[in-house]
Amino acid sequence: MIRAGDVLLIALGVLVVSLLATLLWQDGEAAFIEIRGEDASLRHRVDERRELRVAGPLGETVVELDKGRARIVSSPCSRKLCVRQGWLEAPGDAAACLPNRVSVALIGGEREFDAISF
Amino acid sequence: MAATRSSREDALAAGFAALAVCIHLLESAVPMPLPGVKPGLANVVVLIVLLRHGFRLAASVALLRVLAGAALLGTLFTPAFFLSLAGALASLVAAGLVHRAGGRFVGPVGIAVAMAMAHMSGQFLLAWQVFVPHPALINILPVLLAASLGLGMLTGIIAASVLVRLPVPNR
């Protein structure tokens, strides 16, 4: 029922999947943090210690940077889901405070985007 | 007699497409853990038609399946329809190429794997480029392709065991 070409095609499929996985899922250090507020977004280096304050419709969301990682320290929302998200450490990690319209995401340094949309 | 031959072909295409539509409808009622992933059992019909009746009839069946399936599900000309169409077209091209290039070295399982992965890729590329152009979306592609690889093998095995039992049509 299974012929030589079938085995070859399955092996090719496995190869494609694992190649894509290793190419796409490489972990690097996060280099930037992208903070999106209601009407502005900013990108900041993440390799230092400081606090950033972003204004939203409810008030100020405080983001803390700590040498490669970041977290939302406080936000004027009711459920604090963004604060409970904790530290963001790898590129691609993100936290969002929907009530205050603020989202933060870590971005790796080397990979460039294929497309950016807003 | 070209006329009777083509009307016989039309009848075959319609019959097989009806079968594929039924499977497509039943399948869309089954909840799946990942959006965009489903067994693709309707492809079994397309694959069997390809191996028994050739590429042209298989293409008619696949495209009729997309069109009639979407009409019955109420998704005609919505994003879901175009995703389904992109998948079906990519899957047809892959099936035709693999079948032609592989000859007798490739059986239903290999063709089904190529079809499933092409279907997923075509559908994903359209979704990613047109409907949800978010850069991070591509990170899920390996998961989706791995799922389609496994499901492709499954549909291939099903197609192979159906082909063994299906009587060869007399032409």
Query: What was the ipTM of the complex prediction?
Result: 0.88
Contact B147, B155 (CB under 8 A): no
Tell me what pLDDT residue A68 has: 85
Chain A residues 22-61 with CB within 8 Å of chain B: 24-25
Q: Is B117–A16 a contact, with Cβ atoms under 8 angstroms apart?
A: yes
Query: In angstroms, what separates the C-alpha of A93 from chain B's closest C-alpha?
Result: 11
Contact A105, A33 (CB under 8 A): yes
Both tokens assigned to A47: 């390799």
Instruction: For residue range B94-104, list pLDDT tens digits in order.
Output: 999 999 999 89
Q: Return the CATH number of the domain spanning residue range B2-165.
A: 1.10.1760.20
Q: Is B152–A5 a contact, with Cβ atoms under 8 angstroms apart?
A: no
Residues B67-71: what's their mean pLDDT? 94
Query: In angstroms, what separates the C-alpha of A19 from chain B's closest C-alpha?
Result: 9
In angstroms, rounded to a whole number, what is the distance separating the alpha carbons of residues B148 and B34? 11
Tell me what pLDDT residue B1 has: 45
The per-residue pLDDT of chain A, averaged, comes to 86
In angstroms, rounded to a whole number, what is the distance separating the alpha carbons of residues A99 and B90? 42
Q: Is B98–A9 a contact, with Cβ atoms under 8 angstroms apart?
A: yes
Query: pLDDT confidence of B91, banded at 50, 70, 90?
Result: very high
Instruction: Return the number of other C-beta atoms located less than 10 Å from residue A37's C-beta.
Output: 17
> Of A117, A80, A71, which Cα lies nearest the Cα of A99?
A80
Domain range for A97: 30-108
A11 burial (CB, 10 Å; 0-12 / 13-18 / 19+) is exposed
In this predicted structure, the answer to whether residue A114 has a pLDDT above a threshold of 80 is no
For residue A71, give the CATH number of its domain. 2.60.320.10
Query: In angstroms, what separates the C-alpha of B15 from chain A's closest C-alpha?
Result: 26
Domain count, chain A: 1
3-state SS class at B157: helix
Tell me what pLDDT residue A117 has: 64
What's the one-letter identity of residue A110?
E
In this predicted structure, the answer to whether residue B22 has a pLDDT above a threshold of 90 is yes
Instruction: For residue range A40-81, list pLDDT tens digits in order.
Output: 888 888 888 999 999 899 999 999 999 888 999 999 999 999
pTM (global) more than 0.80: no
Mutate to test the interface with A, among B106, B125, B132, B148 (most CBs of A within 10 A): B106
- Tell whether A116 lies on the interface with B, counting CB pairs under 8 A: yes
Q: Is A10–B109 a contact, with Cβ atoms under 8 angstroms apart?
A: yes
Q: Is B141–A4 a contact, with Cβ atoms under 8 angstroms apart?
A: no
Contact B29, B116 (CB under 8 A): no
Which residue in the block uniquely carries the two structure tokens 């399948």?
A: B27
**Burial B134-163, CB ≥16 within 10 A → b, else e:** ebeeeeebbebbbbbbebbbbbbbbbbeeb
- A46 belongs to a structural domain: yes
Instruction: For residue range A7-21, list pLDDT tens digits in order.
Output: 999 999 999 999 999
The ranges assigned to domains in chain B are 2-165
